[in-house]
């Protein structure tokens, strides 16, 4: 539903020129340039007997003449219509019309008004008259062009938001001459700004008008009123935008409903009368105050009782029984609110000061008079007797609102109060009339359209359903959320809804209560965990109770009655409810009672080999034993610490602080271990293991090696490494040790990249020999140096292949130094009898492998010739002889 907003707009309709319509004869006046003037019966009915009324018709322009053209005329005998040139029925009339004197065209000549006085006799009536109303313009045409920023919409209305400023400007065109013309902007609050530009701010909702007026030197002006019509957006109604819970506990959620409706503006055609009016004592003295109602179309009448919603009086008086109160319409028709005598006696209205000599005002109550169902009694019916106060609220009048039917809406509506008995007085603070908004002219009302409505982004919003949001605040204190409406005027309005969030209950789940056994029946003290659960919260503000299930804890049902002696036979879980006594919030925490025995699993001793310093001190990683000590027990559930004595292990003091890098203090040494439950250090087992530094094996010295190069080209010497084992062992059993050789000290220390035998050593190379104890893995190493020499090839002059073991072959020492040599043997005839080379070298033993005698046994005794090709650029080949003898 749309809410009606009634605001005072005092000049809204007073400057409006009446549009073409019928103006029946009655006391009053009209400013217009069109329409039909008729007798009191209007176009269809006769006038009445004994009428005597005065009606003035004026042009809105002072320079005009007023003209009426009578098109119908029928008066009874003796009835007359008098016409005056001006706005009053005084002086000599222009004319007097009767049954026989029929009017035609009547035009004023001195003023812009014509005033008519009609008098009918006591008997006899007739149809009356009809006349067309016309203004005679005596001036040049003055045309204004008006602009505004912001500009008007397509319908000519400028729509803005509350607090906005409009800049006005105008230009004028004169049909004859504009010399000496003046102009000004006229605003409906009475402000006048000279010139053709002006600015004005509009802080309040409503309908406003700006009139740009141009006068020439003859006093003529433009003929257009209300050049700019302004509508200022109304504040929407956010009623219903609220949270389901205005206070919640931390972590809880609540739903906030967004609800908004635009508000209709309805101009107040009957501004209330405010101000303190004293009602002194009197005997039949009448006090009257009136509201001048304007804004309804001229000639509008009260049609139905519902045309009047209500009227109200804010007053106080010390004796209801004194009073006679009535409301009178502009035509004199009236209704009684309370009639004297009324039986109200000493009933108070409001809270008066019931001392006749004290003339200060008391406290007024608002009494509203309506025919709505909320009103069931009149003031007299509700009177409570001497000294009682009639409550503020809705009351009925003694006469119905229908008594006003036919009364003019425009004019003076008067409240009359008569004080009939001496003593007692009172005050009126305000009174007003509320007509039904549906009869207010459309020009005096508007309602912005709704364009968008939305909740502004907030991280606390966890769900949205239409205009409902679910919020889960993440901080304690006041949390606020904004609901926004943008209307068709482009105005944005925001409603803020705030929720108070109680401080977070910062309780924590406590460490398990450990029963240091696997089976059995025990009692545990759950309350020993109270402070740990509170986690620093003040005990007097937060109660802790225990339950067998979370559901019971949430519902605060079936608490454990003896939490300080809670019987358990197996691992179980209970729930603690932490209750905030200040904010009535709670939080639950799980409490585990765990049967868990601690076991120490025996582990092997730790042994390390002594380093080359032979100081019997090494760095041990005691933590390498943890996995073995725990076995199947989880490292998350148990703590392990290492100690230097059993007493320290039992007392859990003096633990070794660097167990991953511990230097032994004796050799061998006992390390004591404490295995404790991670949540209960008093549930533990101890054990021990040894650490020992093992001595390195003895190692012999190896003499340096100096020998001819096996390959003089590369200057390398092939070493058969095993040839040096005996020196390394130095008399120790070869079965107990492993010997390896390396070409760097780092490799000898790490045991990486052992050399293969034979090893081609270079000159001045150092070879490292390592001896490792097969039982302990401990080792030591030594080194020896290699010197490689390039030696002369020695060629013998003969040999005797008789198989006696002496000079049985043609042996050429140091020939193997040349990796590409070739040896060829010839007989004295120059035939080849033997060939060999480095890649498949075999010493010549007198048996031919070439020629006709190849493979036939020993060659005969004699001299043979040979050629040795070294195939080396730096060595000269050799050609010579050798003698074979048996």
pLDDT tens digits for range 475-496: 999 999 999 999 999 999 999 9
pLDDT band for 713, please (50, 70, 90 cuts): low
Place of tokens 């490792």: 772
> What number is the average pLDDT over the span 572-591?
97
What pLDDT is stored for residue 278 in this prediction?
82
pLDDT of residue 95: 95
Residue 720 above 90 pLDDT? yes
Residue the block writes with tokens 């937060």: 542
Give the span between the Cα atoms of 59 and 65, in whole angstroms. 7
Residue 20 in this model has a pLDDT that exceeds 70: no
pLDDT at 6 over 70: no
DSSP state of 797: S
**So what's the architecture of 142-232 in CATH?**
Sandwich (2.60)
Contact of 575 with 549, CB cutoff 8 Å: yes
| pLDDT for 282 | 67
The rounded distance, in Å, linking the Cα atoms of 491 and 202 is: 14
Q: At the topology level of CATH, where does 798-884 sit?
A: Immunoglobulin-like (2.60.40)
Question: Is residue 115 scored above 70 in pLDDT?
Answer: yes
Position 326 scores a pLDDT of: 95
Question: Concatenated DSSP letters for 590-636?
Answer: EEEEEE--------PPEEEE--TT--S--EE-GGGGHHHHHTTS-TT
From the CB of residue 616, how many other CB atoms can be counted at a distance below 10 Å? Answer: 15
Quick check: 17 pLDDT over 60? no
196-210 mean pLDDT = 95
pLDDT of residue 79: 96
Residue 750's φ and ψ, nearest 5 degrees, are: -90, -20
**pLDDT of 443 higher than 50:** yes
- Mean pLDDT, range 806-811, rounded to an integer: 91
Q: What is the average pLDDT score of the chain?
A: 91
Q: What's the average model confidence in pLDDT over 305-314?
A: 95
Tens digits of per-residue pLDDT, 773-805? 999 999 999 999 999 887 778 899 999 999 998
Beta 28-31 vs 80-85: how paired, if at all?
Answer: unpaired
Handedness of CA 704, 708, 712, 716 (dihedral sign): negative
pLDDT score of 508: 97
pLDDT at 754 over 90: yes
Q: Provide the pLDDT confidence category of residue 11 given band limits of 50, 70 and 90.
A: very low
User: Nearest Cα to 432, choosing from 275, 317, 628, 564?
Assistant: 275
Q: How many angstroms separate the CA atoms of 270 and 294, rounded?
A: 7
**In the predicted model, is pLDDT for residue 856 greater than 90?**
no
pLDDT of 281 above 80: no
Do 785 and 746 form a contact (C-beta atoms < 8 A)? no
| Residue 633 neighbours by CB under 8 Å, 6+ apart | 598, 599, 675
pLDDT digits (tens, 9 = 90+) for 333-342: 999 999 998 8
Confidence at 712, pLDDT banded by 50, 70, 90: low
Please, which pLDDT band fits residue 9 given cuts at 50, 70 and 90?
very low
Quote the tokens at residue 254: 């609540």
Task: Please report the pLDDT score of residue 578 as a whole number.
Answer: 98
For residue 528, how far is the Cα from the chain centroid? Answer: 42
pLDDT-derived band at 411 (thresholds 50, 70, 90) equals confident
Q: How far is CA 784 from the centre of its chain?
A: 80
The number of helices, as runs of H, and strands, as runs of E, in the chain is: 7, 63
The class that CATH gives domain 22-136 is mainly beta
Q: Which CATH number fits domain 705-789: 1.10.150, 1.10.3470, 2.60.40, 3.40.1010?
A: 2.60.40
Residues 207-231 have a mean pLDDT of 93
Q: Report whether pLDDT(280) > 80.
A: no
> In this predicted structure, what is the pLDDT of residue 14?
33
Sign of CA dihedral 380, 381, 386, 390: negative
Mean of pLDDT values over 341-362: 85
Region 740-760: what's the mean pLDDT? Answer: 94
Mean pLDDT of 202-217: 95
Residue range 235-265+446-504 forms a domain whose CATH class is: mainly beta
pLDDT computed for residue 245 by the predictor: 96
Sign of the torsion angle spanned by Cα atoms 363, 369, 375, 381: positive
What is the predicted pLDDT for the residue at 499? 97
Q: Radius of gyration over alpha carbons of the chain, in Å?
A: 63
To 5 degrees, how large is the angle CA 493–CA 496–CA 500?
180
Q: Are 335 and 400 in contact (CB under 8 A)?
A: yes
Q: Please report how many Cα atoms fall inside a 13 Å half-sphere around the Cα of residue 490, on the Cβ side.
A: 8
User: Where along the chain do its domains lie?
Assistant: 22-136, 142-232, 235-265+446-504, 270-439, 513-595, 606-694, 705-789, 798-884
User: Which of the four CATH numbers 3.30.70, 1.10.3470, 2.60.120, 1.10.8 does domain 270-439 have?
Assistant: 2.60.120
Is residue 3's pLDDT more than 60? no
Contact 315, 427 (CB under 8 A): yes
- pLDDT above 90 as % of the chain: 77
- The two domains 142-232 and 705-789 share their CATH topology (first three levels equal): yes
User: How far is the CA of 535 from the CAs of 510, 531, 579, in angstroms?
Assistant: 9, 6, 13
Using the predicted structure, report yes or no on whether residue 755 has a pLDDT greater than 70.
yes
């Amino acid at each position: 539903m749309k809410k009606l907003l009634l605001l005072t707009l005092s000049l809204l309709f007073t400057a409006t020129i009446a549009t073409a319509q019928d103006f029946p004869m009655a006391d009053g006046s009209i400013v217009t340039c069109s329409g039909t003037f008729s007798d009191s019966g209007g176009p269809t009915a006769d006038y009445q007997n004994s009428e005597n009324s005065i009606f003035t018709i004026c042009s809105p322009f002072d320079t005009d003449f007023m003209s009426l053209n009578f098109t119908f005329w029928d008066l009874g005998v003796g009835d007359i219509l008098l016409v005056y040139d001006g706005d009053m029925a005084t002086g000599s009339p222009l004319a007097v019309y009767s049954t026989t004197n029929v009017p035609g065209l009547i035009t004023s000549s001195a003023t812009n008004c014509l005033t008519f006085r009609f008098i009918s006799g006591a008997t006899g009536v007739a149809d009356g008259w009809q006349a067309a109303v016309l203004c005679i313009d005596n001036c040049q045409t003055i045309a204004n062009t008006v602009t505004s920023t912001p500009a008007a919409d397509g319908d000519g209305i400028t729509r803005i938001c509350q607090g906005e400023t409009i800049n006005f400007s105008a230009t004028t065109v004169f049909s004859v001459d504009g010399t000496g013309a003046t102009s000004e902007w006229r605003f409906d609050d009475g402000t006048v700004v000279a010139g053709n530009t002006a600015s004005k701010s509009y802080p309040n909702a409503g309908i406003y008008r700006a009139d740009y007026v141009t006068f020439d030197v003859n006093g003529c002006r433009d003929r257009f009123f209300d050049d700019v019509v302004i509508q200022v957006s109304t504040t929407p109604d956010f009623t219903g935008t609220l949270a389901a819970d205005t206070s919640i506990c931390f972590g809880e959620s609540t739903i906030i409903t967004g609800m908004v409706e635009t508000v209709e503006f309805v101009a107040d055609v009957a501004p209330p009368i405010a101000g303190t009016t004293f009602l002194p004592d009197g005997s039949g003295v009448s006090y009257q105050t009136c509201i001048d109602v304007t804004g309804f179309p001229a000639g509008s009448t009260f049609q139905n009782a519902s045309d009047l919603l209500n009227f109200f009086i804010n007053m106080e008086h010390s004796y209801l029984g004194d009073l006679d109160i009535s409301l009178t319409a502009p035509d004199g028709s009236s209704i009684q609110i309370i009639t004297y005598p009324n039986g109200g006696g000493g009933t108070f209205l409001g809270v008066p000061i019931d001392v006749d000599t004290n003339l200060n005002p008391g406290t007024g109550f608002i009494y509203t008079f309506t025919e709505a169902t909320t009103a069931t009694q009149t003031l007299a019916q509700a009177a409570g007797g001497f000294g009682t106060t009639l409550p503020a609220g809705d009351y009925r009048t003694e006469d119905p609102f229908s008594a006003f039917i036919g009364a003019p809406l425009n004019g003076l509506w008067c409240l009359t109060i008569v004080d009939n008995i001496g003593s007692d007085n009172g005050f009126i603070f305000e009174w007003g009339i509320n007509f039904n908004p549906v009869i207010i002219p459309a020009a005096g009302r508007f309602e912005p359209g709704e364009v968008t409505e939305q909740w502004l982004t907030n991280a606390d919003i966890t769900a949205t359903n239409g205009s409902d949001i679910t919020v889960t605040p993440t901080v304690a204190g006041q949390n606020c959320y904004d609901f926004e409406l943008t209307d068709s005027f482009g105005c944005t309005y925001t409603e803020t809804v705030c929720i108070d969030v109680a401080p977070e209950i910062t309780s924590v789940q406590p460490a398990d209560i450990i029963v240091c056994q696997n089976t059995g029946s025990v009692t545990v003290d759950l309350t020993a965990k109270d402070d740990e659960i509170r986690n620093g919260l003040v005990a007097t503000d937060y109660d802790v109770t225990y339950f067998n299930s979370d559901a019971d804890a949430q519902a605060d049902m079936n608490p454990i009655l003896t939490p300080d002696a809670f019987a358990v036979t197996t691992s179980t879980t209970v729930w603690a409810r932490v209750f905030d006594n200040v904010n009535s919030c709670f939080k639950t925490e799980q409490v585990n009672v765990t049967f868990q025995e601690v076991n120490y699993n025996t582990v092997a001793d730790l042994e390390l080999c002594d380093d080359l310093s032979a100081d019997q001190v090494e760095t041990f990683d005691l933590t390498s034993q943890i996995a073995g000590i725990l076995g199947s027990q989880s490292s998350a559930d148990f703590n392990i610490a290492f100690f230097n004595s059993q007493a320290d292990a039992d007392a859990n003091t003096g633990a070794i602080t660097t167990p991953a890098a511990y230097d032994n203090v004796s050799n061998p040494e006992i390390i004591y271990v404490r295995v404790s439950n991670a949540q209960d250090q008093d549930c533990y087992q101890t054990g021990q293991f040894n650490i020992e530094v093992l001595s390195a094996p003895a190692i012999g010295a190896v003499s340096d090696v100096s020998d001819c190069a096996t390959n003089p080209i590369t200057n390398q010497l092939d070493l058969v490494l095993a040839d040096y084992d005996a020196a390394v062992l130095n008399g120790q059993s070869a079965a107990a040790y492993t010997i390896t050789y390396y070409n760097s000290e780092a490799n000898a220390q790490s045991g990486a990249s052992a050399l293969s035998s034979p090893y081609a050593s270079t000159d001045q190379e150092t070879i490292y020999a390592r001896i490792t104890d097969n039982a302990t893995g401990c080792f030591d190493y030594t080194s020896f140096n290699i010197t490689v020499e390039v030696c002369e090839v020695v060629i013998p002059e003969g040999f005797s292949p008789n198989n006696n073991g002496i000079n049985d072959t043609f042996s050429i020492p140091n020939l193997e130094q040349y990796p590409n040599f070739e040896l060829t043997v010839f007989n004295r005839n120059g035939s080849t009898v033997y060939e060999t080379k480095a890649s498949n070298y075999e010493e010549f033993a007198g048996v031919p492998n070439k020629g006709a005698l190849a493979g036939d046994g020993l060659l005969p005794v004699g001299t043979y010739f040979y050629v040795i090709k070294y195939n080396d650029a730096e060595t000269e080949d050799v050609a010579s002889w050798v003698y074979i003898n048996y």
